[in-house]
């Protein structure tokens, strides 16, 4: 039983908003926000009137797509993976402050066309109240394209989402937020498939070594690693430290540096929505 009735009340509000539509396409990432939205949409409309769609591109890890698929299977909802091509947009590659606008525009245009082709009434994504505290150009793209945000409109925040995700028995209920790989590239540095690949390979290798929340920041030949709170202490083990260095160098970097501050979402990087709210 959930300790507070407030998340349940907010869920009912989201259900009411979703029931204004006969069917909905949910932009499903591998994160907890969009997973919770999908579960609520199924409760509101029935899973037969819901389609989950995950965007696949060079800025999305295989692990995120796998998590999205597992959520859809658990909820018994139809799931499609579609390719998006934000990397072909010059404005996206330029990696200025509005990079996320062009990324989300690509995604939401693809999803909107897909919904129209299938006769689906609305496209929804997992923005939440907490997202309003950040500069998120992707939310402007959603607004311009008429993408609905039932969780946001129901005043649902991160703590509510995690409470509801436990209620729905979603395996991602404790998963940390995960921004797209392009967020590891400093603002003003061109986003390329090669740089995204280097970051993606390095982070995947570090997760296989047991690190849960990490960011590999791309500084040309240098990889600067941010570890989650309490994880950098593991590097006192010389064998593990050597494995970390080898894994990151194998991904294409020449030098490996560790940031002595814990992972943080702000800094010299293009502001990016988490994959959960942005997709």
Using DSSP's 3-state secondary structure scheme, residue 227 falls into strand
Cα–Cα dist 30/264, whole Å: 20
pLDDT at site 261: 84
Interatomic CA distance for residues 52 and 93, integer angstroms: 27
The residue ranges of DSSP E strands in 115-221, in sequence order, are 122-124, 214-219
Tell me the C-alpha distance between 207 and 96, whole Å: 29
- pLDDT tens figures, 225-269: 999 988 999 999 999 999 999 999 999 999 999 998 877 654 444
Domain boundaries, the chain: 6-178+274-278, 181-258
The b/e string for 51-72 (b: 16+ C-beta within 10 A; e otherwise) is bbbbbebbbbbeebbebbbbbb
Beta bridge partners of 255: 222
The second-level CATH assignment, the architecture, of 6-178+274-278 is: 3-Layer(aba) Sandwich (3.40)
Q: Find out whether 108 and 123 touch, Cβ atoms under 8 Å.
A: yes
Query: So what's the pLDDT on residue 7?
Result: 86
Average pLDDT over residues 52-57: 98
Q: Which two tokens stand for residue 252?
A: 């294409």
The string of pLDDT tens digits covering residues 163-220 is 999 999 999 999 887 789 999 999 999 999 999 999 999 999 999 999 989 999 999 9
Contact between residue 36 and residue 27 where contact means Cβ atoms under 8 Å apart: no
User: What strands, in cross-sheet order, belong to the sheet with 50-56?
Assistant: 78-83, 50-56, 24-27, 122-124
Rounded-to-integer distance, Cα 142 and Cα 147, Å: 5
């Amino acid at each position: 039983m959930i300790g507070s009735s407030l998340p349940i009340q907010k869920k009912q509000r989201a259900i009411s908003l979703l029931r204004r539509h006969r069917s909905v396409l949910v932009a499903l990432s591998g994160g907890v926000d969009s997973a919770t939205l999908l579960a609520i949409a199924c409760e509101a409309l029935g899973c037969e009137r819901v389609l989950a769609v995950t965007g696949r591109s060079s800025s999305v890890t295989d692990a995120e797509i796998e998590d999205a698929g597992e959520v859809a299977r658990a909820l018994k909802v139809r799931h499609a993976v579609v390719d998006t091509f934000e990397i072909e947009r010059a404005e996206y590659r330029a990696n200025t402050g509005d990079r996320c606008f062009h990324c989300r525009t690509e995604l939401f245009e693809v999803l909107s066309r897909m919904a129209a082709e299938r006769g689906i009434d609305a496209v929804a994504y997992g923005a939440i109240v907490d997202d309003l505290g950040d500069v998120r150009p992707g939310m402007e793209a959603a607004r311009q394209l008429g993408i609905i945000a039932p969780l946001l409109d129901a005043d649902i925040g991160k703590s509510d989402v995690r409470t509801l995700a436990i209620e729905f028995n979603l395996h991602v209920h404790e998963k940390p937020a995960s921004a797209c790989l392009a967020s590891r590239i400093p603002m003003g540095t061109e986003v390329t498939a090669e740089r995204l690949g280097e970051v993606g390979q390095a982070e995947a290798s570090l997760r296989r070594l047991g690190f849960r929340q990490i960011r590999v920041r791309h500084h040309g030949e240098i990889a600067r690693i941010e570890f989650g709170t309490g994880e950098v202490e593991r590097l006192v083990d010389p064998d593990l430290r050597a494995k970390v260095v080898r894994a990151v160098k194998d991904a294409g970097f020449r030098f490996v540096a560790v940031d002595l501050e814990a992972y943080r979402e702000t800094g010299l990087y293009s502001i990016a929505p988490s994959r959960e709210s942005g997709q």
